[in-house]
Amino acid sequence: MIELRTPREIDEMRPAGRFVAEVLTAVRAAAKPGVNLLELDELAHEMIRDRGAQSCYIDYHPSFGAMPFGKVICTSVNDAVLHGLPHDYALRDGDLLSIDFAVSVNGWVADSALSFVVGSPAPGRAETDAKLIRTSELALEAGIAAATVGNKVGDISAAIAKVGHDAGYSINTDFGGHGVGRTMHGDPHVPNDGRAGRGFPLKPGLVIAVEPWFLETTDEIWTDPDGWTLRSKDGSRGAHSEHTIAITEDGPIVLTAR
């Protein structure tokens, strides 16, 4: 069911968006060579406890997950791009790290993600990693710009896809954006490729997560033996960018702006 939020409810969602931005900023600052992924998860967990918020991930167990997630943040490294389950891994110079985080504050959820290179770029990878990350960010900006009253979900999808295709990337549509509200995942689904002018009409009060993600040389993924982490089938790197936005008569509001 697609739900529309009142202006007051959108205001009530702002603290969740600000907190998600704060956590991602803190985790990014802490993600240095030698730091363990489990340390990053514990940092996010400590911030959740201090804020009195509720994790959207720790008990999350959808059909595609092997078991409840058990951690509070997704950490996807290099060829992993989505749902990266934090584990005993010390970050290395040049790793491409994607962090995804969703949390509930006062009963409202916000969801956001970013990708970056840890430390110094790996030899020979500076330009390719920068292009991959920047393309995901530009696609996110294009998707948000298309999220205006009178457009349709397909307009967001088409805007994201154009940026990705123009950069030479193929696009997987198994996972994409989604409705956000009292729960982390709701309707409508917002694919990262689609036809403009098609799909659900964008109306004031619709709150969605827009989340383009690209893999360097494939659009095929497989699930790691951990039962969660999604990796590229050919071992190429991935990047992921995401914001929670509210659609209003005056244009989209980015609730998770950093």
Q: 115-138 pLDDT, tens per residue?
A: 999 999 988 999 999 999 999 999
The CATH superfamily of 7-254 is Creatinase/methionine aminopeptidase superfamily (3.90.230.10)
For the annotated binding site for substrate, the residues are 83, 185
Average pLDDT over residues 137-150: 98
For the annotated binding site for a divalent metal cation, the residues are 100, 111, 178, 211, 242
How much is the pTM?
0.97
Q: 27-81 pLDDT, tens per residue?
A: 999 999 999 999 999 999 999 999 999 999 999 999 999 999 999 999 999 999 9
In the chain, domain spans: 7-254
Average pLDDT over residues 214-219: 98
For the annotated binding site, the residues are 83, 100, 111, 178, 185, 211, 242
Angle at 105 between CA 37 and CA 32, to 5 degrees: 20
